[in-house]
Chains A and B, each alone.
Chain A
């Protein structure tokens, strides 16, 4: 187990166009950190800088407290699982898994022993003599994982390792990765654009967008207390509803009919445009009765059944609104509904900067 710290780290391929901007990240020994963000946000670049596969343009990387900017990848004691697996096609599964041990001069007997242990752990024992081309996607993914864990690295990096798998396999592999982390007790850094993976796997999540680290916190905190409009919209499924409004006379107001958002605005935002965020799962359908503080009236346009719940898409005066309702909710297409929220369920953001404004 080892700590990893990025201090003001930036990466630019061309002058004036940094792909990672002044990132500070402090990863504790043994922690499982997921870096999440949309495609092109710089998350893979950040991981590759930690691996030593990309040079750091400015800033300091510390591995185990030591400055590691100029340490070549093979001396960082980091194992990595690549998005495309990067298995050696000319080697068998056993040789792929044992490759890192061979590079470190581990004896053949010990190598075989460890390969067998890892193969057993990942249920690959029957495939040890096959070449990667003879394996399915899921098996290849396991081999890639096996290659990384065969040696006892202090840190494991995983670059979207599940992105090529089908939904069922992803779910089971997620559980296996979490289980592996508990077994190995090593520091793990995992990159994904899938927020479900981030929420289920991470001890802490680093949310990135456009090369900037927006928030680094526990999954619960990221979900319950997003620091910005982007984080609020990115984390959570279905995504948060956003309603544009304005601060007037100390209150959030919309000019739309049938909408009531009685949230107090801080004085410094008087006259400013704001965005109100409401999670679909906190909304309550109340046909006509006005018990909730925040209220929208609208017409049901689409109903999606997800199994245990139903996603209700309504058209309101402020725009489309999505809420998650229990399957028992007696609602049909075209029904006029009233959607209510408690004020404590609302998030307020400054429209100009996307910054979160904490409501008192």
Chain B
């Protein structure tokens, strides 16, 4: 569904990300793992069309996609999501309204998405008064209500309690089962192993490999990758 080739991103003249090859398929969850500040979030912003790379290509459904085209087909749940002024329902209705849906259709899409993350009982609540876990669930509902073909999650379950993690993981799995390509950055290696079919490893500003999750976690030939997924202190 989405493919990246020879993509690089610089900040202040210094290269911070280089991705030789990366792909995410429809109906699958692709995990991106790696240490902090390795370039994972930069890759997510590039995939979401929020930033433009210096070189390389991002192709969607086999065709080169511009940032504006990527923004239309994807939704990114930010590492630290933020609520917009207004109710939970207002937040969830935003994407469909922006995409041109009528108020009634947007409401239906929003309520379905809120139900998926278990927030359908508090639709009238001020979104800025939600707890951390509820806010992440709202951000996911907001993204799902857009009905994106590509769902991107940047450490969506970091610092959350097990019940919130479970709800989010269920919604992610459901999104993939419905045919979306899901790409998730996570520091939680057991989670990557549990949920994803494919895993990419990013280290030191470089996407060093991508393979099936089974291969990455059980018998990858690269010793650094093996050490990283085994939880060893490789730095």
User: Are A and B interaction partners?
Assistant: no
